[in-house]
Structure 1
Amino acid sequence: MNLPEGLIVVGYAKVSAASAAHNTHRLFSLCLLVDPGTGRVLAADATAETTVVRRWVADLLLGADLTADPAPLLATVERNYLGQGAGAIRQAITDAWRRYARHREE
């Protein structure tokens, strides 16, 4: 079996009960395909309810460096995502960054 190059890094967050997504998803999941040599995000997907949000999250994270501080990305979500899911998106990003940092320490 010929697996593609890359590392899968997943981040999770609880979905707010006030969010429309809460009816179908209890957790917001963020899945990143990361270049293990550079820490750069090659592809991203999320369990957002709408295609627009899934694409927005993917575009936000494409090319991001998981070895860098995620604060600018978190600030972008805070500034530009005006919905109940903003907290879950920020938390999932933080969780993915933390998982990647633990992997690098091992």
Structure 2
Amino acid sequence: MLLPEKIFISGYAKLPKGITSTELYSVIAVGVLVNRYTGEVFEAEASLVTSVAKDFFRNHLVGKNLNNFDEIEKMFKENYFGSARKAIISALRTCYEKYEQIVAGVEDVE
């Protein structure tokens, strides 16, 4: 039986103190809609405060592949200079690790 192609994966990370996002959320939430079989990102969203940051996040993930996580991480390290950068990368790494578990057939992915 072929499972549905699109899957939703989320990841969370603690935000640094003293930034606007922390005042609103305390953690960053990242959600990605991914192709189960190829790793391609169809849609992405993060609980960032400004629309510019949200757009940057989405525009730099949609069309990328979770199987190439090192490239995604490098892009954020080299091009995103918001205070939430480390938290974004951490939350995305959680998404990537969950994706690997899903592909490996682990049943209790949380």
Normalised by the length of structure 1, the TM-score is 0.88
Equivalent AA in structure 1 for residue 46 of structure 2: A
d(CA) in 2 for partners of 1:44, 1:79? 19
Alignment: residue pair count: 102
Residue 18 of structure 2 corresponds to 18
d(CA) in 1 for partners of 2:24, 2:95? 22
Q: Is the 8 A contact 2:39 2:67 kept in 1?
A: yes
Residue aligned with 1:83, SS: coil
1:95 maps to 2:94: yes
1:63 maps to 2:66: no
Residue 31 of structure 2 corresponds to 31
**Structure 2: runs of 5+ lacking an equivalent:** 106-110
Residue aligned with 2:81, SS: coil
Equivalent AA in structure 1 for residue 67 of structure 2: T
- Once the 2 structures are TM-superposed, how far is the Cα of residue 62 of structure 1 from its aligned partner? 0.5
Q: Is the 8 A contact 1:9 1:96 kept in 2?
A: yes
- Once the 2 structures are TM-superposed, how far is the Cα of residue 19 of structure 1 from its aligned partner? 2.0
Q: Is the 8 A contact 2:45 2:54 kept in 1?
A: yes
Q: Is the 8 A contact 2:5 2:35 kept in 1?
A: yes
Larger deviation, residues 76-85 vs 4-13: 4-13
Equivalent AA in structure 2 for residue 75 of structure 1: K
Equivalent AA in structure 2 for residue 7 of structure 1: I
d(CA) in 1 for partners of 2:37, 2:75? 26
d(CA) in 2 for partners of 1:62, 1:29? 17
**Structure 1: runs of 5+ lacking an equivalent:** none
**Structure 1 vs Structure 2 CA RMSD:** 1.5
Equivalent AA in structure 1 for residue 52 of structure 2: V
Q: Is the 8 A contact 2:5 2:37 kept in 1?
A: no
